[in-house]
Amino acid sequence: MARGAHGASKSHHSRQPNPHRGGIHKRSPAPRTEKDGDLIMDGIEEVAGRSTRGGRHGKHTPRGAARNSNINPQNLAKAIARNLDNTKTVNMRDAPRGPQRNTQPQNRFDKYDQIVVRGWKDSEAAKSADQGIPQLIAFIDRKASKETNLKLIQESQVRGDNLFIYTKEEDREKILRLNNYQFARAILSVELKREAKVSAIDIKSALKSMVLRRYNETEKLLDLSNLASDPDLERLGMFANQERTSKINAAIATVCEGIWPNNFRRNQAIQSLSFANSNLTSVTQISYFSQTFPKIRNLDLSNNNLDDLKALEPWSRKFRQLDQLILKGNKIETVPDFHLEIMKWFPKLRTLDAVQLRTDDQIVQTMNKIPVSPPIQDGDIDIAQSFITQFLPAFDQNRPAAVATFYTNTSVFSLNVKSRSSGNYDKKSWDKWLGMSRNLKKITSPHGQNQRYYTGLQDIEKCFSDMPTIQHPSFTEEREKWLMECKTVEGLPDPTGQAPYGVNGLVIDIHGEFQEFGSNNQVIATRSFDRKFILGPGEEPGSIKIIREMLTLRPYSGTSRFRPTISPQVHSEPDINTSIPEITLNNGIDVPAGLVVPAGFASPITGKPTEQLQRELITLELCKATRMTLEYAFQCLQETQWNLENAGIAFQTNKDKLPPNAFW
């Protein structure tokens, strides 16, 4: 039941009599619910070989999968390709068959003629759940053959008020004779339907000739703009509504796969696609092209009805090689900063509407890696800061007091030792820690796992007392040695048991270092660590406690891996330009010579929060306008709440007080 996917019911004759129907043969009872009855559109789906209903493109019908329908898209593709090679006009009927010919007829339209029966909807039988179709077919078989058990109808299909029946040519006349016969008090109309016979083939050849006519080999461009007024398609009466647009586009994509039958040939043949002037409201209407041509470099979507980012979002993870995108003539261009989002979507996008977004260098940069960005601090940052600044000194100086202050009877603590770092094993002895290490890669017995799971005040205090003495650098005064990130976490157990869905807390991740002291109070090692806290409300109202904690100890590795380096150290005499420039697409990421910025700065890079990007762009503008270094510009903007104009005024007021190294 291949057609089940698009809701049509198609009956295949069974030669077995069905006892429940009094000699009527079993047929598909599912009536088609929608009154589409459109042969042309059905042909389109056959050409497409894809279900286009419900907007869930390509999800249900495997692409190119063999279907029990009239056209096998793969065979079609091969046939067209073969004809292309011979630069002949394609005639589908003459297309050579491959050796892998099915036992199924390759093209039932060749073998059977289609007869359409109407008028049966008025019959008494049509009122039943199966619309009386089994009775009708049995009736036709019986009357046409004049025998009780001979089957003339090979297949049948209901579409709206029409029953299409397929029969062998020699039986055709017998059935056509039943025109004006009475069936269950209704007068039947029985006619030969020639349109159906030609529809799928006509559409294919029309689409193919259209695709070839619109293909520019020199430019490697497939121009599918303005399809609605294409003479070939207009003749076929397409583009009546948006659903059809999707279907036709799916069919065109399939025809393209036939003309250029593999990825390599398609990539060679076509680097640019144009869907300009196509009344598109969303790229879902042309979604198949992203599968057919995933590697195109240029895409023209100008003069459509793409109103917002959502209209383009389905392609945000397609076309990874896209170099040029044209969106002019769409309302999407009125969305503030829409280009920043689009740059994030397409990492190699160089130009948008003929405006350069990225230079070659920047493309190389963004393609090579995700940058190391400053820590993200989300949620209650003040709590995180004050917790860390209080907890660490307490842990270093008085662990029992720290336990009493920060932990509860349901807190859990565990630690694990990662003795290898960057390919090297640390020589410094980990003996004092390994007895506590709950590295699940090594501690595989439930007993060991339980033993090293410290829960409650006593357990945790005992564990802490077994640890060597350590000393952290100051979190406030030696901040460069630390990295802290924090975020809100939902659904923690509520210690009071009152909130059914749990309570909110804070995840805090810190990365840093400490010195470890030996028995003689000498520093024996500097180690790095990662410490993960989950903070949540304690039992006493307003208190904040450590709910869970995990500590990873590892050989000292410094801070270079997590530090986003900003080191603008170029000095020059200030050349002050006081005008406040506008941020435009063009100069947004144009870094002047002499100004030092970190890699990827002010570039829309995958994963960079939009707010951060906007701040980077504003900072860059201020740097350019005032010749202040990045650091000073950043500070100035922070003090003026990221208002560029106020920052300019503040600069004018204070510029004489700035040291020479504030400028580049």
3-state secondary structure at position 432:
helix
Quick one: 396 or 509, whose CB is closer to another protein?
A: 509
Quick one: 103 or 422, whose CB is closer to another protein?
A: 422
Contacting residue, 305, 421, 526, 646, with another protein by CB under 8 A: 421
Assign residue 602 a region: left if phi > 0, alpha if psi is -120 to 50, beta otherwise? left
Phi, psi of 595 (to 5 degrees): -90, 130
Shortest reach from residue 370's CB to another protein, in Å: 5
Q: Is 8 in the site for another protein (CB under 8 A)?
A: no
Contacting residue, 14, 149, 356, 450, with another protein by CB under 8 A: 450
Shortest reach from residue 46's CB to another protein, in Å: 28
Quick one: 186 or 508, whose CB is closer to another protein?
A: 508
Contacting residue, 34, 180, 401, 453, with another protein by CB under 8 A: 453
Quick one: 93 or 447, whose CB is closer to another protein?
A: 447
* String marking each residue 500-539 x if it binds another protein according to CB under 8 A: xxx----x-x-x----------------x-x-x-x-----
d(CA 125, CA 132): 5
Quick one: 238 or 403, whose CB is closer to another protein?
A: 403
- In Å, how far are 340, 478, 637 from 643, measured between CA atoms? 19, 30, 7
Contacting residue, 438, 481, 527, 627, with another protein by CB under 8 A: 438
Q: Which stretch binds another protein (CB under 8 A): 149-157, 206-214, 225-233, 482-490?
A: 482-490
Phi, psi of 79 (to 5 degrees): -60, -45
Restricting to residues 293-352, name those near another protein by CB under 8 A: 316-317, 320, 347
Q: Which stretch binds another protein (CB under 8 A): 3-11, 47-55, 98-106, 440-448?
A: 440-448
Restricting to residues 172-191, name those near another protein by CB under 8 A: none
Shortest reach from residue 53's CB to another protein, in Å: 22
Binding footprint of another protein, residue count (CB under 8 A): 73
Which residue in 522, 406, 418 sits closest to 457, CA to CA? 406
Shortest reach from residue 161's CB to another protein, in Å: 41
Q: In the chain, what are the helix, strand and coil shares in percent, each to the nearest 5?
A: 40, 20, 45
d(CA 628, CA 294): 44
Which DSSP string corresponds to 278-345?
Answer: S--S-GGGGTHHHHHSTT-SEEE--SS---SHHHHGGGTTS-TT--EEE-TTSGGGGSTTHHHHHHHH
Restricting to residues 371-410, name those near another protein by CB under 8 A: 371-376, 409-410
- In Å, how far are 70, 75, 98, 199 from 66, measured between CA atoms? 10, 10, 14, 20
Quick one: 149 or 368, whose CB is closer to another protein?
A: 368
Contacting residue, 41, 188, 224, 489, with another protein by CB under 8 A: 489
Amino acid at 66: A
Q: Which stretch binds another protein (CB under 8 A): 23-31, 45-53, 289-297, 414-422?
A: 414-422
Q: Is 455 in the site for another protein (CB under 8 A)?
A: yes
Restricting to residues 591-650, name those near another protein by CB under 8 A: 605-609
- In Å, how far are 329, 338, 391, 454, 594 from 495, measured between CA atoms? 57, 45, 21, 18, 57
Question: Using alpha carbons only, what angle is made at residue 139 by residues 134 and 143, rounded to the nearest 5 degrees?
Answer: 155
CA 141 to chain centroid: 52
Quick one: 243 or 459, whose CB is closer to another protein?
A: 459
Helix (H) or strand (E) segment spanning residue 145: helix 133-145
Q: Is 491 in the site for another protein (CB under 8 A)?
A: yes
Shortest reach from residue 399's CB to another protein, in Å: 17
Shortest reach from residue 324's CB to another protein, in Å: 18
- DSSP single-letter state for residue 524: E
Quick one: 355 or 453, whose CB is closer to another protein?
A: 453
Quick one: 14 or 543, whose CB is closer to another protein?
A: 543
3-state secondary structure at position 455:
strand
Shortest reach from residue 164's CB to another protein, in Å: 39
Quick one: 473 or 564, whose CB is closer to another protein?
A: 564
Dihedral (Cα; 123, 127, 128, 131), 10-degree rounding: 60
Question: Edge to edge, what strands does the sheet with 112-118 contain?
Answer: 9-12, 153-159, 162-168, 112-118, 189-192
Contacting residue, 161, 337, 353, 485, with another protein by CB under 8 A: 485
Contacting residue, 267, 277, 359, 552, with another protein by CB under 8 A: 552
Restricting to residues 110-139, name those near another protein by CB under 8 A: none
Largest CA distance in the chain: 112
Quick one: 258 or 600, whose CB is closer to another protein?
A: 600
Residue 485, strand partner residues? 509
